[in-house]
């Protein structure tokens, strides 16, 4: 008999009481909500070690990104333009498309990646990134990361977030909450373990 | 009365400064966890729901695992079932061999530790590189983790600095944590890019979508799986959750409980193989299905491996992970070890003061302390109860059942106060080890009551 059958039989033989699936609706109803989602999101982003920048009407996104990352030269993005408060702005600061490289390892040395976030979660600063390029390495290998997020896509908590997300055609998605970090050496918090050392969420 | 745990703890306790640091650092993590929990009015309901979902999923494993398999296969993944550690190791090896993999990068997986995967593969000539910073440090030192979430919590930065001079060419004497971390970042970058296959564990496997969810702060799981085309993901079968709604509950609890963060930096959802790549998923039993039959201990399968029970445990904090004889230390490790092989791991059962703190912080409400208590009742049946404790309990029983004897003993107890040191503190008196004996009162409460001294 196959291991699969063995295991399933062992489970059936040993399972005692079968418990009901709980109803989560009460929890979802009483889960934390924020009166000012933009403010809460900006506050929690600081706690994650990153930052959120609210783009006001009249702001130039290219300028905001340049000001934040003046040293960045190799800038990757799959975004041609960014819609800010209903107005489309051409993204001029990106140097190349992440899928222009032959191997994901070639993305090593990317100073900055500018990618789209789909949902932002106010309770923890997590931004849902659904894979939208062939080389998803770009989300992690770049030294810094800008996540562009429509402020209307802020939700209060993870219950609300999971109702809104998908892994799309590529079958991959990730919540990213601030910069990569570790405290593995004597519990001292260090940004930039393996992924981006710095993360900015642009709330457009 | 001394157990392997207490003898190992003695070694740990020799470095008083290290013990103080270990204790306070973990307590700080516990305090961060408290702070996080207090910010959510629905915290207790979250824990109740996490427990209820696990009770549901662990009592429907046959159905949920098959649902997961069907969906994962529809997503293009290969699904394997491993009965035990050997089968799990062999499946991994066969995948690597079929693709002539020589460089293999792994992110932290307690299942791999449980099954001895690295040793198995290295014997077969596969170079395994751990990518979690703490795990990598330990791998280079040929040591084992002492905590399931903070594996290198027992290692000092000076030791790491010295190691990195040798392994990564850092400046001698520079033990700055940021400097060392970034040296490892640079060093491991090459390893990620060179690897021909990457492996992760899974924090959750979602039946309704066939996806595996991995939570990291470093981003090492994603750095690994976004480079080579071969991805292997393995999980113990109790990691299954029914659907994404359940993830809403668990992702809110996991990091808040474990490290006191609102969520880990990365919560990655792997559903399909990369374009032109392969995704291999291994479902592992290794004794878990047997636990289902044990009503008194089945709740250990609720465990999320967050580490909160260790951080809060007064015994763990003051004795360190290496004091325990099972590879998972702390309250959850005591119980998992007993379920694995009681005659092998019973020494750990005494490493508990029954303060119940673990049970009160566990996000999935594993009845950790109740279970330890139950194991203690079974020690005599296993013929491993401590003989000196049995003599003492026998003596206490005689005393308690005979009020005259009890009162006589109490009246004369204060004699001990005046005895010379060598008579009180010696090998025969376990209560006098590692702490001072209490001063016995000259008069008992009973006597004071009778003389009307208590108003």
DSSP-assigned letters across all residues of B112-123 = HHHHTHHHHHHH
CATH number of the domain encompassing residue B218: 3.40.50.10420
| DSSP conformational letter for B274 | P
Digit-coded pLDDT (tens) for A145-159: 999 999 999 999 999
Range of the domain at B149: 62-289
Q: Please state the domain extents for chain A.
A: 39-203
Secondary structure of residue A151 in the 3-state scheme? helix
Q: What is the pLDDT of residue B1?
A: 55
Residue A190 has pLDDT above 70, yes or no: yes
User: A27 CA to chain B: closest CA distance, Å?
Assistant: 7
Residue B407 has pLDDT above 90, yes or no: no
Q: Which of B378, B396, B418 is the last residue of a domain?
A: B378
As for the ipTM of the complex, it is: 0.98
Surface of B (94-113) touching A: CB under 8 A? none
The verdict on B143 and B283 lying in the same domain is yes
Report helix angle B16-38 to B244-258, nearest 10.
Answer: 140
Q: How far is CA A104 from each of CA A72, A123, A175, B84, B187, rounded to the nearest angstrom?
A: 20, 33, 21, 35, 17
Q: B293, A183: Cβ pair inside 8 Å? A: no
Kindly list the residues from chain B whose CB atom is less than 8 angstroms away from the CB atom of residue A165. 244
Surface of A (64-103) touching B: CB under 8 A? none
Q: What is the pLDDT of residue B435?
A: 72
Residue B455 has pLDDT above 80, yes or no: no
Residue B403 has pLDDT above 90, yes or no: no
Mean pLDDT on B300-326: 98
Mean pLDDT on B3-21: 94
Q: Which of B289, B305, B338 is the last residue of a domain?
A: B289
Cβ–Cβ contact A152 with B under 8 A: no
- Quote the number of domains for chain B: 3
Q: Which of B378, B408, B425 is the last residue of a domain?
A: B378
The verdict on B372 and B433 lying in the same domain is no
The verdict on B360 and B404 lying in the same domain is no
Q: What is the pLDDT of residue B451?
A: 87
Mean pLDDT on A93-118: 96
Mean pLDDT on A191-201: 98
User: B118 CA to chain A: closest CA distance, Å?
Assistant: 21
Q: B49, A162: Cβ pair inside 8 Å? A: no
Q: What is the pLDDT of residue A141?
A: 98
The verdict on B77 and B141 lying in the same domain is yes
Kindly list the residues from chain A whose CB atom is less than 8 angstroms away from the CB atom of residue B178. 188, 190
At the fourth CATH level, the homologous superfamily of domain A39-203 is NagB/RpiA/CoA transferase-like (3.40.50.10420)
The mean pLDDT value of chain B amounts to: 94
Range name among A161-175, B70-84, B342-356, B425-439 with the lowest pLDDT average: B425-439
Mean pLDDT on B5-11: 94
The verdict on B66 and B151 lying in the same domain is yes
The verdict on B108 and B146 lying in the same domain is yes
Instruction: Determine the Cα–Cα distance for residues B189 and B194; give it in Å rounded to an integer.
Output: 9
Kindly list the residues from chain B whose CB atom is less than 8 angstroms away from the CB atom of residue A157. 248, 252
Give the number of other CB atoms < 10 A from CB of residue A3. 16
Q: Are A196 and A143 in contact (CB under 8 A)?
A: yes
Digit-coded pLDDT (tens) for B126-156: 999 999 999 999 999 999 999 999 999 999 9
Digit-coded pLDDT (tens) for B56-67: 999 999 999 999
Surface of B (128-187) touching A: CB under 8 A? 131-134, 137, 150-153, 155-157, 160, 177-178, 180-182, 185
As beta bridge partners, residue B350 has: none
Digit-coded pLDDT (tens) for B204-262: 999 999 999 999 999 999 999 999 999 999 999 999 999 999 999 999 999 999 999 99
Nearest residue on chain A to B212, alpha-carbon basis: A172
Per-residue b or e along A151-165, where b marks 16 or more CB atoms closer than 10 Å to that residue's CB: bebbbbbbbbbbeeb
Max Cα–Cα distance, chain B, nearest Å = 89
The reply to whether B191 falls in a domain is yes
Secondary structure of residue B80 in the 3-state scheme? strand
Max Cα–Cα distance, chain A, nearest Å = 69
Residue B40 has pLDDT above 80, yes or no: yes
Q: A187, B247: Cβ pair inside 8 Å? A: no
The reply to whether B57 falls in a domain is no
Mean pLDDT on B397-406: 85
Q: Which of A47, A77, A83, A63 is nearest to A179 (CA)?
A: A47
Cβ–Cβ contact A132 with B under 8 A: no
Cβ–Cβ contact B283 with A under 8 A: yes
Q: B248, A184: Cβ pair inside 8 Å? A: no
Mean pLDDT on B337-347: 96
Mean pLDDT on A31-47: 98
Mean pLDDT on A75-79: 97
The verdict on B323 and B262 lying in the same domain is no
Residue B426 has pLDDT above 80, yes or no: no
Q: What is the pLDDT of residue B333?
A: 98
Mean pLDDT on A24-32: 97
Cβ–Cβ contact A48 with B under 8 A: yes
The reply to whether B43 falls in a domain is no
Residue A118 has pLDDT above 80, yes or no: yes
Q: B219, A124: Cβ pair inside 8 Å? A: no
Mean pLDDT on B157-163: 98
């Amino acid at each position: 008999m196959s291991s699969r059958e063995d295991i399933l039989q062992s489970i059936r033989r040993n399972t005692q009481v079968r418990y009901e699936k709980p109803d989560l609706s009460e929890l979802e109803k009483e889960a934390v909500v924020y009166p000012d989602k933009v403010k809460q999101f900006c506050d929690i982003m600081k706690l994650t070690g990153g930052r959120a920048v609210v783009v006001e009407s009249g702001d130039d996104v290219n300028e905001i990104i340049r000001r934040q990352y003046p040293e960045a030269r190799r800038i990757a993005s799959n975004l041609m333009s960014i819609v800010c408060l209903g107005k489309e702005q051409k993204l001029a600061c990106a140097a190349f498309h992440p899928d222009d490289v032959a191997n994901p390892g070639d993305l090593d040395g990317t100073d900055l990646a500018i990618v789209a976030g789909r949902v932002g979660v106010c309770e923890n600063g997590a931004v849902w990134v659904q894979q939208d390029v062939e080389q998803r390495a770009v989300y992690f290998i770049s030294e810094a990361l800008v996540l562009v997020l429509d402020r209307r896509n802020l939700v209060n908590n993870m219950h609300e977030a999971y109702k809104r997300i998908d892994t799309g055609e590529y079958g991959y998605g990730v919540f990213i909450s601030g910069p990569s970090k570790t405290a593995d050496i004597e519990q001292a918090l260090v940004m930039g373990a393996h992924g981006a050392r710095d993360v900015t969420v642009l709330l457009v | 009365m001394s157990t392997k745990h207490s003898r190992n703890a003695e070694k740990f306790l020799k470095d008083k400064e290290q013990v103080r640091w270990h204790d306070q650092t973990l307590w700080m993590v516990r305090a961060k966890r408290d702070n996080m929990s207090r910010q959510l009015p629905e915290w207790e309901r979250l824990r109740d729901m996490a427990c209820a979902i696990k009770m549901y999923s662990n009592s429907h494993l046959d159905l949920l695992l098959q649902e997961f398999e069907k969906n994962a296969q529809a997503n293009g993944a290969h699904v394997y079932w491993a009965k035990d550690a050997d089968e799990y190791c062999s499946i991994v090896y066969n995948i690597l061999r079929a693709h002539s993999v020589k460089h293999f990068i792994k992110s932290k997986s307690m299942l791999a530790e449980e099954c001895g995967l690295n040793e198995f593969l290295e014997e077969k000539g596969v170079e395994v590189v751990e990518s979690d910073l703490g795990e990598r440090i330990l791998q280079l030192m040929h040591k084992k983790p002492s905590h399931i979430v903070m594996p290198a919590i027992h290692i000092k930065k000076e030791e790491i600095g010295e190691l990195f001079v040798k392994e990564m060419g850092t400046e001698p004497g520079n033990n700055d944590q940021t400097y060392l971390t970034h040296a490892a970042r640079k060093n491991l970058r090459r390893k990620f890019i060179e690897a021909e296959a990457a492996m992760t564990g899974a924090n959750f496997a979602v039946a309704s979508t066939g996806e595996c969810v991995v939570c990291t702060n470093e981003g090492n799981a994603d750095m690994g799986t976004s480079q080579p085309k071969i991805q292997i993901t393995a999980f113990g079968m109790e990691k299954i959750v029914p659907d994404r709604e359940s993830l809403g509950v668990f992702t809110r609890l996991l990091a808040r409980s474990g490290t006191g963060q609102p969520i880990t930096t990365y919560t990655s959802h792997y559903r399909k193989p990369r374009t032109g790549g392969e995704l291999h998923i291994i479902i592992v039993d290794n004794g878990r299905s047997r636990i289902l039959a044990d009503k008194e201990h089945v709740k250990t399968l609720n465990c999320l491996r967050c580490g909160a029970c260790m951080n809060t445990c007064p015994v763990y904090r003051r004795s360190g992970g290496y004091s325990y004889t099972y590879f998972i230390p702390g309250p959850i490790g005591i119980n998992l070890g007993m379920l694995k092989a009681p005659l092998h791991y019973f020494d750990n059962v005494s490493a508990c003061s029954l303060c119940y703190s673990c049970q009160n912080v566990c996000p999935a409400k594993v009845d950790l302390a109740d279970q330890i208590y139950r194991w203690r009742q079974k020690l005599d049946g296993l013929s491993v109860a401590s003989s000196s404790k049995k003599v003492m309990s026998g003596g206490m029983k005689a005393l308690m059942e005979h009020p005259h004897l009890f009162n006589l003993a109490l009246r004369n107890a204060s004699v001990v106060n005046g005895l010379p040191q060598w008579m009180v503190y010696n090998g025969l008196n376990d209560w006098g080890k590692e702490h001072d004996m209490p001063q016995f009162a000259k008069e008992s409460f009973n006597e004071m009551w009778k003389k009307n001294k208590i108003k």
